[in-house]
């Protein structure tokens, strides 16, 4: 059964997209994918492609590299691509971090290297390469990322769950990517994004490439639902506190008439599930004092209304508007798991950092100070 985007459903969600864009950017109309609502969080994909291709160096591969481990190392390096976009260091999130870690730990395999070599050297059909890579139990977002690196004008990275919801919104019936990884479903995915591209071209006077259409679907299927959920949570908290939620207006300054709600941290994503470190951290987190964290964030907000990361300077508010207002993560400079039961913490013992820097603080051993991580980051720029 051929899958089709419903033009009426597209029209409805495009109108919502345009409306949100205008509210996000103080009335600036959406005329293309360089719009402030889209560009900071989506245009980096093209830069990731360029950086990853430079790391991959597939044109230099030779047959004798297949058994040497070089191809495995180059692919692993390409997974770690990062770019500086709008003065922010952005890590490659086109592949789930678990898939990146899995490949890094995956035993070096001459058979896997051979398929990847054949893909980039056009030695066998793309569909055969796709299915062969899946047969090695490699995640579909990893496999689709390789195809994206091969040719971004023909192939796209694919994270199934968000696009499942996007296609549902766009009127596609009876089609799911989740749990049905295959070359056939990947081709349907590409075709549906191409249909979105055609519909977008009819609305916009400027160019719309395949990645722009990908960004549109990702935004309505992943970003907007997160915004709405966070806004609903803020509204519920505000009703309980007797205050008004911050309006999603896109203003670059928090509204003085609407107090910024300190948003909770999504800490579960910081520590790989199943590892011993995660278990230790979760046990220690049970004794964290939430009032200390809230007090530290409130004092930080008073000093810096944008709540910029103390390592890299990233601001969720400046990037995402009202959806990011009040969000920052609290990092204990004295690790919680080392504290004695009677330990007394001060507000000054907590540093305010973005999610990426918080992850790196806990992944680097020994634990670096804020200043050490900042210097390490600056050396990479």
Q: For 77-114, what is each residue's pLDDT tens digit? A: 898 877 776 666 667 778 776 666 777 777 788 999 99
209 with 281, same domain? no
Q: Which residues contact 316 (CB under 8 A, 6 or more apart)?
A: 307, 323, 324, 325, 327, 328, 354
**Domain end call among 172, 205, 220:** 220
β-strand pairing of 88-91 with 329-332: unpaired
Q: Which residues contact 7 (CB under 8 A, 6 or more apart)?
A: 199
Helices (H), 221-265: 224-241
List the domain range (segments joined by +) for residue 353. 250-380
Q: Is the pLDDT of residue 176 over 90?
A: no
What number of other Cβ atoms are within 10 A of residue 133's Cβ? 21
Has residue 306 been placed in a domain?
Answer: yes
* Distance of alpha carbon 90 from alpha carbon 49, whole angstroms: 13
Q: Give the total number of structural domains in the chain.
A: 2
183 with 261, same domain? no
Residue 263's pLDDT is 65
β-strand pairing of 350-353 with 329-332: antiparallel
Q: Report CA-CA distances (Å) from 355 to 33, 223, 265.
A: 25, 17, 9
**Domain end call among 201, 220, 239:** 220
160 with 268, same domain? no
Has residue 300 been placed in a domain?
Answer: yes
Residue 238's pLDDT is 52
83 with 147, same domain? yes
Has residue 93 been placed in a domain?
Answer: yes
210 with 300, same domain? no
Has residue 226 been placed in a domain?
Answer: no
25 with 164, same domain? yes
Which DSSP string do the residues of 275-342 spell out, in sequence order?
A: SHHHHHHHHHHTT--HHHHHHHHHHHHHH-TT---TTT---HHHHHGGGGTT--EEEESS-GGG--TT
260 with 204, same domain? no
pTM of the model: 0.61
203 with 340, same domain? no
* Distance of alpha carbon 119 from alpha carbon 131, whole angstroms: 11
Residue 188's pLDDT is 94
Show the tokens assigned to 331: 């990092």
153 with 89, same domain? yes
- How confident is residue 192, by pLDDT bands cut at 50, 70 and 90? very high
* Distance of alpha carbon 43 from alpha carbon 211, whole angstroms: 9
- How confident is residue 241, by pLDDT bands cut at 50, 70 and 90? low
342 with 198, same domain? no
Residue 235's pLDDT is 52
What number of other Cβ atoms are within 10 A of residue 60's Cβ? 9
* Distance of alpha carbon 251 from alpha carbon 3, whole angstroms: 39
Q: Which residues pair with 85 in a beta bridge?
A: 88
68 with 177, same domain? yes
Has residue 129 been placed in a domain?
Answer: yes
Phi, psi for residue 285 in degrees, rounded to 5: -65, -25
26 with 81, same domain? yes
Has residue 325 been placed in a domain?
Answer: yes
Has residue 244 been placed in a domain?
Answer: no
Q: Any idea which of 179-183, 271-275, 373-377 has the lowest mean pLDDT?
A: 271-275
**Domain end call among 172, 200, 220:** 220
Has residue 116 been placed in a domain?
Answer: yes
**Own/partner pairs for 168-176, CB < 8 Å, 24+ apart?**
169/9, 169/13, 169/220, 169/221, 170/5, 170/6, 170/9, 170/10, 170/13, 170/196, 170/217, 170/220, 171/4, 171/5, 171/6, 171/8, 171/9, 171/10, 172/3, 172/4, 172/5, 172/6, 174/1, 175/3
């Amino acid at each position: 059964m051929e899958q089709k985007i419903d033009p009426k459903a597209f029209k409805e969600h495009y109108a919502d997209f345009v409306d949100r864009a205008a509210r996000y950017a103080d009335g600036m109309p959406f005329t293309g994918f360089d719009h402030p609502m889209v560009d900071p969080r989506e245009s980096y994909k093209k830069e990731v492609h360029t950086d990853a291709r430079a790391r991959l160096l597939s044109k230099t591969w030779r047959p004798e590299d297949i058994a040497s481990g070089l191809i495995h190392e180059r692919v692993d390096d390409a997974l770690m691509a990062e770019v500086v976009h709008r003065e922010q260091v952005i890590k490659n999130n086109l592949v789930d971090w678990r898939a990146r870690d899995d490949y890094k730990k995956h035993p070096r395999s001459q058979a896997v290297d051979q398929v990847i070599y054949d893909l980039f050297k056009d030695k066998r059909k793309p569909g055969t390469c796709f299915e062969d890579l899946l047969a090695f139990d490699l995640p579909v977002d990893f496999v689709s990322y390789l195809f994206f690196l091969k040719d971004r004008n023909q192939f796209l990275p694919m994270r199934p769950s968000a696009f499942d919801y996007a296609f549902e919104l766009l009127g596609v019936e009876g089609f799911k990517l989740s749990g049905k990884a295959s070359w056939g479903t990947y081709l349907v995915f590409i075709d549906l994004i191409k249909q979105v591209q055609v519909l977008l071209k009819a609305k916009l006077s400027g160019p719309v490439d395949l990645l722009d259409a990908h960004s549109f679907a990702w935004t309505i299927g992943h970003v907007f639902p997160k915004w709405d959920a966070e806004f609903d949570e803020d509204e519920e908290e505000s009703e309980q506190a007797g205050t008004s939620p911050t309006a999603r207006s896109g203003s670059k300054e928090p509204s003085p008439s609407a107090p910024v709600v300190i948003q909770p941290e999504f800490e579960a994503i910081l520590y790989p599930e199943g590892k011993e470190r995660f278990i230790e951290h979760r046990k220690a987190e049970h004794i964290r004092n939430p009032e200390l964290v809230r007090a530290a964030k409130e004092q930080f907000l008073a000093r810096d209304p944008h709540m910029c990361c103390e390592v890299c300077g990233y601001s969720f508010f400046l990037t995402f508007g009202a959806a990011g207002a009040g969000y920052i993560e609290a990092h204990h400079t004295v690790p919680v798991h080392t504290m004695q039961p009677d330990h007394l913490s001060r507000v000054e013992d907590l540093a305010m950092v973005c999610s990426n820097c918080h992850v790196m603080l806990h992944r680097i051993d020994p634990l670096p100070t804020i200043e050490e991580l900042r210097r390490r980051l600056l050396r990479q720029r």
